[in-house]
Amino acid sequence: MSEALLSPAFALTPTPVQLAQHVSEALGREVYVKRDDQTHPAYGGNKARKLSMLLAEARARRATDLVLVGAAGSNHVLATTVHGRALGFAVTAFVVPRPHSPEAEESLRAAAALGCRLVPTRSEWTAVPRLAHELLRLRLRGRRPWFIPPGGSSSLGAVGYVRAVEELARQRANGELPWPDVMVCVLGSGGMLAGLAAGVRAVGLPCRVVGVGVWSAWAANRMALTWMARRTLALANEPGRDSPYAPPELEVDLSQLGAGYGHPTEAALEAQALFARDGVVLDTTYTAKAAAGLMALARADPRPRRFLFWHSLSSAPLEPLLGSGELPEPQVLALLR
Ligand SMILES: Cc1ncc(COP(=O)(O)O)c(C=O)c1O
């Protein structure tokens, strides 16, 4: 059994659940928010849950270096840097271009300040041979590199979200919320969606699980994600025990992509304004698009009475991370266009 399953790399707080009063009134349903923006005080959001599993595995394999690919200024690169550096790993990220936003620039600056080695790369495809070369180069230097999957989305990373649903089931048992009819989350690289679908099966409480795509249509393949959810559930299951579970099911909603990754939509801006009235701060790249998906679902279908929105963007302030460390190289900053 993987060490990560027994002992995550760092502690996560059970995140609060909040009834979003204004959103609920506007939609005529109960809308709850699972505040995964608060998973960790240094840097939270959904990446922390996945990394608590992935970094435990890297530690168990005695890795020295983490190597990854991500968009410049992405939450994935910053989260891996924050939690990886705290555990003593060196971090190298091959970063690809994305649209400029003040948040992306701040995130890129924070990753550089924390000592992430940022290597500019034209696209995910050109990153592949460079990454293979980097892994070899590190090995030849006597280091033990460990590859972190894109977005932290592997079956092991997704087990972090099985644990999150187990946490939610305990909160239900404590009377903190009624069980939702539908859960909605962002769908980027898919680990969160796959983990939630597996988690819903693991706790045995029925609920639709919907991922709202923000990245690209080809990455949001329902069959592939269902396969990842199955593998995640098998991994999260106790070893040697035959699985009593029905196969996980998940839904993919691509209606909110708009002009593509990082481009805001009207619906996302509307969702951002509405959720802000309940004190829930959303960004237009990820979380506001998913919230727009939830609103569209509620408006189109009068049946579900209770929705749960997984808020996956860290709300920890970035200023303490900026410190007096390195600045990103000009060619790295130029990736934000
Ligand atoms: C804030 C935020 N929410 C959600 C996601 C998507 O999660 P996943 O990659 O597991 O689909 C991301 C991915 O980068 C993200 O940064």
Classify residue 288 as exposed, middle or buried by CB count within 10 Å of its CB (0-12, 13-18, 19+).
buried
Q: Looking at the structure, do residues 213 and 250 belong to the same domain, yes or no?
A: yes
Q: Looking at the structure, do residues 274 and 132 belong to the same domain, yes or no?
A: no
Q: How far apart are CA 167 and CA 174, in angstroms?
A: 11
pLDDT in tens, 64-80: 999 999 999 999 999 99
Distance 153 CA to ligand 1 centre (A): 9
Q: Is the CB of 188 under 6 A from ligand 1?
A: yes
Q: Is the CB of 226 under 6 A from ligand 1?
A: no
| 79 part of a folded domain | yes
Q: Looking at the structure, do residues 28 and 81 belong to the same domain, yes or no?
A: no
**In the prediction, which pLDDT does 292 show?**
98
Number of domains in the chain: 2
| 274 part of a folded domain | yes
Q: Is the CB of 186 under 6 A from ligand 1?
A: yes
| 322 part of a folded domain | no
Distance 46 CA to ligand 1 centre (A): 7
Residues 6 or more apart from 238 whose CB is under 8 A from it? none
| 331 part of a folded domain | no
Q: Looking at the structure, do residues 146 and 161 belong to the same domain, yes or no?
A: no
Q: How far apart are CA 274 and CA 23, in angstroms?
A: 6
Q: What is the number of other CB atoms lying within 10 angstroms of the CB of residue 54?
A: 30
Distance 298 CA to ligand 1 centre (A): 22
Pairing of strands 17-19, 30-34: antiparallel
Report the residue among 46, 148, 287, 310 best suited for mutation to probe ligand 1: largest number of ligand atoms under 8 A from its CB: 46
Distance 241 CA to ligand 1 centre (A): 31
Picking from 152, 172, 196, the residue at the C-terminal end of a domain is 152
Q: Looking at the structure, do residues 108 and 236 belong to the same domain, yes or no?
A: no
| 323 part of a folded domain | no
Q: Is the CB of 311 under 6 A from ligand 1?
A: no
The residues of the chain scoring below 50 in pLDDT are: none
Question: What is the DSSP secondary-structure string of 213-232?
Answer: E-S-GGG--HHHHHHHHHHH
Q: Looking at the structure, do residues 33 and 130 belong to the same domain, yes or no?
A: no
Q: Looking at the structure, do residues 57 and 25 belong to the same domain, yes or no?
A: no
Q: Looking at the structure, do residues 169 and 132 belong to the same domain, yes or no?
A: no
Q: How far apart are CA 213 and CA 192, in angstroms?
A: 12
Query: What are the C-alpha distances in Å from 138 to residues 72, 76, 78, 126, 147?
Result: 22, 22, 21, 19, 12
Q: What angle do CA 186, 188, 191 make, to 5 degrees?
A: 90
| 121 part of a folded domain | yes
At 174, which CATH number?
Answer: 3.40.50.1100
Q: Looking at the structure, do residues 117 and 201 belong to the same domain, yes or no?
A: no
Q: Looking at the structure, do residues 256 and 193 belong to the same domain, yes or no?
A: yes
Q: Looking at the structure, do residues 21 and 54 belong to the same domain, yes or no?
A: no
**In the prediction, which pLDDT does 1 show?**
63
Query: What are the C-alpha distances in Å from 246 to residues 35, 156, 197, 201, 224?
Result: 28, 20, 11, 7, 17
Ligand 1 atom 6: residue of nearest CA? 188
Query: What are the C-alpha distances in Å from 194 to residues 11, 83, 246, 288?
Result: 22, 22, 14, 20
| 37 part of a folded domain | yes
Q: Looking at the structure, do residues 67 and 87 belong to the same domain, yes or no?
A: yes
Picking from 122, 152, 182, the residue at the C-terminal end of a domain is 152
Tokens at residue 327, please?
Answer: 């600045």
pLDDT in tens, 15-63: 999 999 999 999 999 999 999 999 999 999 999 999 999 999 999 999 9
Question: Where in the sequence is the domain holding 209, given as residue range(s)?
Answer: 12-46+153-310
Report the run of H or E that residue 90 belongs to, with start and end: strand 90-96
**In the prediction, which pLDDT does 240 show?**
63
Ligand 1 atom 13: residue of nearest CA? 188
Picking from 152, 179, 213, the residue at the C-terminal end of a domain is 152
Q: Which atom of ligand 1 is nearest to the CA of 161?
A: 10
| 5 part of a folded domain | no
